Each structure stands twice: as C-alpha cells, then as structure tokens.
Amino acid sequence: MTRLTGRALRLTVFVGENDTWHHRPLYSEIVHRAHAAGLAGASVFRGVEGFGASSLIHTLRLLSLSDDLPVAVVIVDTEPRVRAFLPRLDELVTEGLVTLDDCEVIRYTGREDGPGNTDSKGKKSL
C-alpha cells in the first residue's frame, strides 16, 4: 500500500463525460493509466453544471444538454510522481483543462485487512 503524507501535488483534469479514448470514457482511461503508473489514487467527479472553452453551458436542468456534463479527474501524489505522469496525458487530453495545485496530505490510509474482513460499509467484521 502506498503511504503518503506531507507536501503533494494535486492534478485535476476537466473533460466532458462523453469524451472518449478508443471507444472508452476518457475519464476511465485516465484513471486506469494513473493506476498502472502506480499513483496513490484517482477519483472521478461528475459535475451538475459547467462550461469550458466553448462557452456552452452543460447542465442537468436542460434535457438537451445534460448528456455531456463536466467531469473532473483528481489525482494526488508526490510532485515527482505526478509530473512524471503528465506526458501520459498529452495524447489523451486534446480538449479540456489540466491543472496542478500544491496540497498537503494530512492522512492517506487504506484498509489493512482485505475486503473479506469488512462489511459493506468498510467496518471490520467480528
């Protein structure tokens, strides 16, 4: 398990939920590449409303535009590991926004036992 505390770098990639890479959701490809690169973790967040460089507002409130909502992929790891991952994004992200922010990791821990020893809420079973 990766241990991470202290200074870190947060990589955020903003794309549309309909963006694809070889018939697969782009956000999923980014997460799988981050996993393969051994980064500490990645999460995908679906927006309820937003606009980008095209200035077209996408929102859940308008049925005609609700099919391409904004998606943010957030990855946090040490600065050298995140910067080493950036070239892997170059071929993937042709439209969108990629940002880097300094951050501080206060706590990053996983379950010490395997999933068989926890219930559906992640609590240890007796």
pLDDT on residue 5: 81
Q: Which residue has the higher pLDDT, 61 or 14?
A: 14
**Residue 37 pLDDT greater than 70, yes or no:** yes
Residue 120 has pLDDT above 60, yes or no: no
* C-alpha distances in Å from residue 125, one per residue of 3, 110, 119, 122: 24, 16, 6, 9
- Measured in degrees and rounded to the nearest 5, phi and psi for residue 103 equal -150, 170
pTM listed for this prediction: 0.78
Q: Which residue, chain included where needed, has tokens 């308008």?
A: 62
Q: How confident is the model at residue 47 (pLDDT cuts 50, 70, 90)?
A: confident
Mean pLDDT computed over 51-71: 70
In sequence order, the 6+-apart residues with CB closer than 8 A to the CB of 109 are none
